[in-house]
Structure 1
Amino acid sequence: MIELEDLTKRYGDKLAVDGLSFTVRPGTVTGFLGPNGAGKSTTMRMVLGLDAPTRGDVRIEGKHYGELREPLNSIGALLEAKGVHGGRRAYDHLLCLAQSNGIPERRVGEVLEMVGLQEVARKRPKGFSLGMGQRLGIAAALLGDPRILMFDEPVNGLDPEGIHWIRNLMQQLAREGRTVFVSSHLMSEMAQTAEHLVVIGQGKLLADTSMSQFIAENSRTHVRVRTPEPERMRDVLVEAGLRPVTGGDGALEVDGGEAPRIGELAAANGVVLHELSTQRASLEEAFMRLTAQSVEYHAYAPGADGTQLPQTPPGAAPPPGGAAPPPQPGQAPPAWGEDWKRGR
């Protein structure tokens, strides 16, 4: 178990983490989400004693990381996969870690086989691909067979088989009663892996809840109805106390209704249905909605008329400076990047 209490970290004028309090419990995969700059990596570094809190406390099974005599036997972590000596063979890198934590040498071979690197155990990591480096970092985290595991972007560089493997591994570790804490920006992958979510924005706690509850509270669920008689179906729904709206493709969208009831209404009134489906938001949509006001770094993309369109979700504050002004009437819109080219 990992316990954070009023955890705060300030770098000069920058408040990176602001009074975080939550508990990461065993037996489940807990996802750690937040926009870029939200303070996720800083929080993980403080858990491992790599950064000292400005205020507050963080404990691992009731102890500070510095109090753990052989820390790899208590908590394994992957924060920076490339943080290895590039000239030291993969096997020797893990052996050094094992010897410093009282772990028998046979465990090195076990974890290399577990992550699929047994064939390159005698090779130097400086020649490894990003995915192979990730696997070596995961092997180091598993080395002490710890009760707590913490991963920061564990699927970076992994191929589809590797992503499937690490997802199943994390879920299996949680089923064994271990604490699994994982940070990732891949919402689709997190939706398939985590059961509980901790979400932060600008260093503050935004949510600490189950995956299903998080999506339900931060998204819209509706029933989609497509029929060759939309006006008649609309009248049936209104008469039943529902309020359908027409979607962009002409289908009816009904909030606050259940698909079985709507199907029964259609059947009772002889309305033919071509589609009746419940539309649930994805984790990505729920995350974007909750964190809209917490995004620190906004991206832009070129619009059709050459203007810069902010890539921010609905409800988010526009970035400083706003979008470029539209061209004047009769003036041809500039090509994207034309201003930059003229200034060269």
Structure 2
Amino acid sequence: MIELAGVTKRYGEKVVVDDLTFHVRPGSVTGFLGPNGAGKSTTMRMMLDLDRPTAGQVRIDGKRYAELRDPLRYIGALLDAKAMHGGRSARDNLMCLALSNRIPAARVDEVLEEVGLAAVARKRPKGFSLGMGQRLGIAAALLGDPEILMFDEPVNGLDPEGIHWIRTLMRDLAAKGRTVFVSSHLMSEMALTADHLVVIGRGRLLADTSMPEFIAQNSRSFVRMRTPEPEKLHDALCAAGIVVETTPEGAFEVPDVPVERLGELAAEHGVVLHELSPEHASLEEAFIRMTGAAAEYRTGPHGALPAQARGAAEDPTGHRGARTAGKDA
């Protein structure tokens, strides 16, 4: 389990992470979402002691990361696939990690086979494609067969087969009782992978809830109805006290009424229906609705950042255009 209690990170006057408290529990895939600049990468770095919190604490199975003996056996992480040594072979990169964490050498070949890199194990990662480098980073995360896995943008650079593989891997690990924590900007992929969501904006916690609850609480659901007899259907719905919204195409949108009730009502009045379909918001729509006010970087009417956002694009030390751990994706 990963536990954050009152975690805050400041760079000078800039508060990047603001009093974050949440738990990442075993047995499910927890998605970590937030707009650009929300503090996600900084939070994940603090989990691994790559950044120190200004206040609060992070615990991995009850201990700070730095207190873990052989940490790769507790938690495996993919934060930056390019962190591998480009001059060493893929196998040697993993062997160094294995030796430093007392992991058997045989495990190196196992994970290379698992991620599909066995055939290029002797090649140097500086010549790898983006997807191959990503697979090597995933192999490093899996190396210690840890109970906790953290992935930042795990599908980056992967082809469709690779995306399906990593999605299935994460869900299988969670089903075996592992703790899986994944950050991604791909809402369609997150919707297929995550069971639970932690959402932050401007460094603050916005939501800590299940995927269905998050969508239900931050979206508008309705039933769409189309008929060749719009006036007859409209009168029947209004007579039943049902609020109806008409679309420009002439369809009806009916919120807060079960689809079964609407079908029965149409049948009672002899109305022919060409469509009767419940419509639910996607994760992307729910995410935008919740985080719109917390987005630090927003596009202006002509594609330019507003002045306030341009000013915020400075890094915590005041250098324009730079990106640091304090200005993460």
TM-score normalised by the shorter chain: which range applies? over 0.9
What TM-score do you get using the length of structure 2 for normalisation? 0.92
Structure 1 residue runs without a partner (length 5+): 302-307, 311-317, 323-344
Q: Post-superposition shift, 1:248? A: 2.2
Does the alignment pair 1:158 with 2:145? Answer: no
- Map 1:301-340 onto structure 2 (within 5 A): 308=302, 319-320=306-307
Q: Where in structure 2 are the equivalents of 1:269-288 lying within 5 Å?
A: 269-288=269-288
SS at match of 2:83: coil
List aligned pairs for 1:175-254, cutoff 5 A.
175-254=175-254
Q: Would you say 1:46 and 2:33 are equivalent positions?
A: no
1:309 shift after superposition = 5.8
Letter in 2 for 1:246: T
Return the letter of the residue paired with 2:78: L
Distance 2:288 2:87 in 1: 42
Correspondence for 1:9: 9
* 1:249 to partner: Cα distance: 1.3
| Whole-Å separation in 1 of the counterparts to 2:269 and 2:166 | 51
Other-structure match for 1:338: none
CA contact (8 A) 1:6 1:21 kept: yes
Aligned residue type for 2:280: R
Q: Within 5 Å, give how 1:137-176 maps onto structure 2.
A: 137-176=137-176
CA offset at residue 247 of structure 1? 1.0
Q: Is 1:87 matched with 2:110? A: no
Hey, what's the Cα distance between the residues in 1 that align with 2:234 and 2:273? 12
Offset from partner CA, 1:283-321 (integer Å, 9 cap, x none): 0000000001011111246xxxxxx267xxxxxxx9338
1:245 & 1:14 partners in 2: Cα distance?
45
Q: Is the 8 A contact 2:26 2:178 kept in 1?
A: yes
Q: Residue type of the partner of 1:32?
A: F
Q: How many residues align?
A: 309
Q: 2:60 is matched with which residue?
A: 60
Matched letter for residue 181 of structure 1: F
Q: Which has the higher contact order (CA 8 A, sep 6+)?
A: 2
Q: TM-score, normalised by structure 1?
A: 0.88
2:26 corresponds to which letter in structure 1?
P
Q: Deviations over 1:108-133 (max 9, x none)?
A: 00000000000100000000011001
Contact 1:225-1:276 at 8 Å conserved across structures:
yes
Preserved contact between residue 242 and residue 256 of structure 1 (Cα < 8 Å): no
C-alpha distance after superposition, 1:72-113 (max 9, x if no partner): 000000000000110100000000000000000000000000
Letter in 1 for 2:306: P
Deviation sequence 1:171-230 (CA, Å, 0-9, x none): 000000000000000000000000000000000000000000000000000000000111
**Partner Cα distance (2:249, 2:167) in 1:** 37
* CA shift digits 1:126-154 (9 cap, x unpaired): 00011001000000000000000000000
Aligned partners of 1:184 and 1:190 also within 8 Å: yes
> C-alpha offsets along residues 39-71 of structure 1, whole Å, 9 cap, x if unaligned?
000000000000000000000000000000100
Match of residue 327 from structure 2: none
User: Partners in 2 of 1:240 and 1:134 — Cα distance?
Assistant: 57
Instruction: Give the 3-state SS of the residue equivalent to 1:27 in structure 2.
Output: coil
Amino acid at match of 1:78: L
CA contact (8 A) 2:191 2:283 kept: yes
Aligned to 1:332: none
Runs in 1 of length 4+ with deviation above 4 angstroms? none
Instruction: State the Cα deviation string for residues 243-289 of structure 1 (Å, max 9, x = none).
Output: 01101211000011111110000011000000000000000000000
Counterparts of 1:15 and 1:37 in 2: how far apart (Å)?
Answer: 11
Q: Distance in 1 between matches of 2:132 and 2:247?
A: 46
Confirm or deny: 8 A CA contact 1:4 1:22 kept in the other structure.
yes
CA distance in 2, matches of 1:229, 1:197: 43
In structure 2, C-alpha distance between the alignment counterparts of 1:279 and 1:319, rounded to whole Å:
34
Q: Is the 8 A contact 2:222 2:254 kept in 1?
A: yes
- 2:21 aligns with 21
**Structure 2 spans left out of the alignment, 5+ residues:** 310-329
Change beyond 3 A, Cα 1:321–1:93: closer
Q: Could you tell me whether the CA contact under 8 Å between 1:226 and 1:275 is conserved in 2?
A: yes
CA contact (8 A) 2:300 2:306 kept: no
Counterparts of 1:241 and 1:182, CA distance in 2: 45
Q: Distance in 2 between matches of 1:102 and 1:200?
A: 36
CA separation of 1:129 and 1:309: change in aligned 2, threshold 3 A: closer
- Tell me the C-alpha RMSD between the 2 structures: 1.3
